[in-house]
């Protein structure tokens, strides 16, 4: 009876595999939803690509056919006066595809956009190809975009001062390809103010803004740059609600902070969630208002998702890619196979099920159940492979030879140590290294012999350690069968920089000492990043005599510092008391911290004036020395309020930092 059951189940399994093979072999190319609309958008984008290529050719531009193999004219120089960030050439080449316009059409349709809907847009010169695809999709669907452009660009973007993205917009408008143009522009770059550009670079960006007749949005700091953009979007909308926000590139005013890049998903998002955003840019602020957002930055990821080529050396034609046509199963055939298979299961297995074919699964012996519960925790223990992955073996740059050791199942190659010639390794610090050593029995050794190892760093002795060897019955020398001792370990810390580690060994008997060296794998940084509060009086830039700048948020007795954060985490709060010009000696101030409206703790400080710093925006106010405190945040979403109690009219400059690993905390 058991054999018959096995045969029946085997037949059902084979028939399922045959049906799946038949479905795979009969897959047919099928047009995707909105095929005609997507093709229209891609064709319009291709016209814009051709216009740039023609213009650059007629203008006598020197095209770099090595970095721009398709000759699009949309790959700029590596470095120029308006280059404001590092760019990835492969990402730029991937974006030079008119079929990304079809991807944008699909996003717009999923967001339920209709002709005439308002869309807030932020673009930069970093990805002109993606900007073209976006404009083509918006024009095809007759949307009403409000566009703010960052003129600066990263490497290989629209970073030619004489042909910026604003110049490309003018070209498309003059040729009747696009009617969409930027209503406002900024320098882009650091703080959206052109930080990182030379004075000449900022002037060239301003020249581009002026000659293209675009309004310039000026700002004093990143907070005002973000609020200025939001005010501009609101002003231009004329009370018409925005149905979508689209961002192209990594502009800091749109993202809020470079640290947000790891938190923001690429593509269309209807809800970004409540992360611990270091600072909220316009993209996040629109999302918090319930507006869907499209974030176009991880270009290669988007290309793979929609079946578009990554870094092609040609310009794809409109209509190419899985976004248009995809091999699909023949659904009628799949439905027929499903009905046949279900009927077969019912007719064949129903009698067997009634007789308890699988009832044995519920009647296992108690001893078996208990054994499963005992073994379950073993699956939770990290495997030896996982533990080994924390270390990586270092190859020697000089050695006296190798010795093969056999452990019953696996062979290991050890390096021979001797007192005269050290085994040398090159290691980059800072990191910890682990030395693994063993003793190989020599002829005439009466019993286990001791041995010692010496570790030198750049010729200076760092560690000398002696071991007493113990027998390891499972390990021998590969070809000789000679006994080997158990493993002995020694750890040393290598300082920052490249160093040479030399290792020598000495045995107390006639045998040899062998070793292997491992370096600890560096883990992802768990440092802290700036965290911007939501309520404060004003932003203050602390300027040190060395030229270094640090951003602080000022608050006073009547204007507390407020922010929301999701725990568990531990915040660092740095505060500085305001000193007036001429104030000498020490001053006292008192802070109280409220969590969710309840007093948490009160802090008393005694500080002096900082001697090597000042506030450029407030020369009449001098910073005090810094005081640091930690705020442990419990699990969940919490609102904190920092108040200054004394002196009566106190002014405080504060800075908050949060562990990078806690940015992704969700309530």
Q: Per-block average pLDDT, block size 10, for the chain (667 residues)?
A: 70 81 76 90 96 85 83 91 89 94 96 95 95 97 96 92 95 95 93 88 94 93 93 91 95 91 91 89 94 94 91 90 78 80 74 51 46 41 46 89 85 89 90 90 75 90 85 84 86 85 90 91 72 92 85 92 94 93 85 95 93 86 92 94 88 94 85
pLDDT value at residue 455: 92
- Name which CATH class applies to 528-662: mainly beta
pLDDT value at residue 382: 43
Its sign, for the CA torsion 123, 125, 130, 133, is positive
pLDDT value at residue 369: 41
3-class DSSP state of 26: coil
Interatomic CA distance for residues 306 and 99, integer angstroms? 10
pLDDT value at residue 351: 60
User: Strand ranges (DSSP E) for 365-408?
Assistant: 391-393, 396-398, 402-406
Q: Which of 124, 121, 92 is nearest to 189 (CA)?
A: 124
pLDDT value at residue 379: 41
pLDDT value at residue 60: 67
Interatomic CA distance for residues 94 and 99, integer angstroms? 11
pLDDT value at residue 470: 82
User: Strand ranges (DSSP E) for 24-126?
Assistant: 28-31, 83-85, 118-124
Residue appearing with tokens 């870094």: 311
> 10 Å Cβ neighbour count for 313?
10
Half-sphere exposure at residue 595, Cβ-oriented, CA atoms within 13 angstroms: 15
pLDDT value at residue 167: 95
Angle between helices 165-174 and 35-58 (to 10 degrees): 110
Beta bridge partners of 122: 148, 247
| Residue 560, CA distances (Å) to 92, 592, 641 in order | 45, 10, 6
Q: In which residue ranges of the chain is CATH 2.60.120 found?
A: 388-520, 528-662
Interatomic CA distance for residues 35 and 29, integer angstroms? 13
pLDDT value at residue 32: 81
Interatomic CA distance for residues 308 and 304, integer angstroms? 6
Fold for domain 388-520? Jelly Rolls (2.60.120)
Backbone angles phi, psi at 151, to 5 degrees: -70, -40
User: Structure tokens of 146?
Assistant: 């409000």
Residue appearing with tokens 């581009």: 208
pLDDT value at residue 460: 87
> 10 Å Cβ neighbour count for 93?
25
Q: How many residues in total does the chain contain?
A: 667
Query: Would you say 656 and 531 are in contact if contact means Cβ atoms under 8 Å apart?
Result: yes
Strand 598-608, strand 586-595: pairing: antiparallel
pLDDT value at residue 65: 84
pLDDT value at residue 84: 87
User: Would you call the peptide bond into 136 cis, given omega within 30 degrees of 0 as the criterion?
Assistant: no
Interatomic CA distance for residues 49 and 55, integer angstroms? 10
């Amino acid at each position: 009876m058991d054999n018959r059951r096995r045969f029946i189940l085997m037949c059902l399994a084979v028939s399922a595999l045959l049906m799946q093979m038949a479905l795979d072999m009969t897959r047919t190319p099928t047009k995707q939803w909105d095929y005609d609309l997507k093709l229209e958008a891609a064709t319009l984008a291709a016209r814009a690509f051709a216009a740039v290529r023609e213009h650059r050719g007629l203008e006598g531009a020197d095209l770099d056919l090595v970095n721009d193999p398709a000759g699009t004219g949309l790959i700029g120089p590596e470095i120029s006066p308006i280059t404001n960030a590092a760019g990835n050439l492969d990402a730029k080449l991937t974006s030079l595809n008119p079929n990304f316009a079809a991807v944008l059409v699909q996003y717009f349709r999923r967001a339920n956009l209709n002709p005439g809907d308002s869309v807030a847009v932020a673009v930069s010169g970093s990805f002109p190809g993606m900007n073209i695809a976006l404009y083509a999709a918006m024009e095809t669907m007759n949307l009403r975009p409000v566009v703010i452009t960052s003129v600066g660009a990263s490497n290989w973007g629209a970073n030619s001062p004489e042909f910026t993205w604003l110049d490309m917009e003018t070209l498309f408008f003059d040729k009747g390809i696009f009617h969409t143009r930027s209503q406002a522009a900024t320098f882009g770059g650091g703080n959206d103010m052109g930080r990182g550009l030379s004075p000449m670079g900022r002037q060239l960006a301003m020249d581009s803004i002026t000659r293209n007749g675009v309004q310039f949005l000026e700002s004093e700091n990143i907070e005002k740059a973000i609020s200025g953009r939001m005010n501009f979007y609101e002003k231009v909308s004329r009370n018409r609600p925005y149905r979508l926000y689209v961002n192209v590139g990594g502009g800091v005013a749109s993202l809020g902070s470079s640290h947000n890049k790891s938190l923001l998903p690429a593509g269309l998002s209807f809800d970004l969630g409540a992360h611990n955003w270091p600072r909220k840019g316009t993209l996040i602020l629109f999302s918090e208002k319930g507006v869907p957002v499209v974030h176009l930055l991880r270009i290669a990821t988007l290309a793979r998702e929609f079946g578009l080529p990554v870094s092609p050396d040609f310009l794809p034609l409109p209509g190419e890619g899985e976004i248009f046509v995809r091999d699909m199963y023949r659904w009628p055939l799949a439905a027929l196979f499903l009905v046949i298979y279900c009927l077969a299961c019912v007719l064949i297995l129903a009698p067997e099920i009634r007789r308890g074919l699988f009832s044995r699964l519920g009647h296992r012996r108690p001893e078996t159940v208990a054994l499963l519960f005992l073994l379950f925790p073993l699956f939770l223990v990290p495997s030896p492979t996982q533990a080994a992955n924390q270390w990586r073996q270092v190859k020697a740059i000089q050695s006296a030879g190798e010795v093969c050791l056999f452990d019953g199942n696996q062979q290991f190659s050890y390096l021979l140590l001797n007192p005269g010639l050290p085994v040398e390794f090159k290691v980059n610090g800072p990191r910890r290294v682990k030395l693994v050593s063993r003793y190989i029995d020599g002829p005439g050794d009466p019993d286990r012999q001791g041995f010692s190892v010496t570790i030198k760093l750049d010729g200076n002795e760092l560690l000398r350690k002696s071991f007493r060897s113990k027998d390891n019955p499972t390990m021998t020398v590969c070809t000789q069968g000679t006994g080997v001792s158990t493993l002995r370990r020694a750890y040393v810390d290598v300082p920052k920089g490249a160093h040479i580690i030399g290792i020598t060994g000495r045995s107390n008997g006639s045998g040899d000492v062998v070793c292997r060296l491992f370096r600890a794998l560096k883990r992802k940084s768990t440092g802290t990043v700036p965290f911007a509060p939501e309520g404060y009086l004003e932003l203050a830039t602390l300027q040190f005599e060395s030229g270094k700048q640090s951003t602080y948020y000022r608050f006073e007795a009547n204007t507390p510092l407020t922010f929301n954060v999701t725990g568990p985490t531990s915040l660092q709060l740095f505060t500085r008391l305001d000193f007036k010009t001429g104030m000498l000696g020490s001053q006292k101030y008192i802070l109280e911290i409220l969590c969710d409206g309840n007093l948490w703790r009160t802090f008393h400080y005694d500080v002096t004036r900082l001697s090597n710093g000042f506030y450029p925006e407030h020369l009449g106010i001098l910073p005090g020395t810094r005081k640091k405190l930690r705020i442990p945040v419990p699990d969940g979403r919490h609102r904190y309020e920092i108040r200054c109690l004394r002196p009566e009219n106190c002014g405080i400059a504060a800075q908050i930092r949060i562990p990078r690993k806690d940015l992704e905390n969700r309530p």
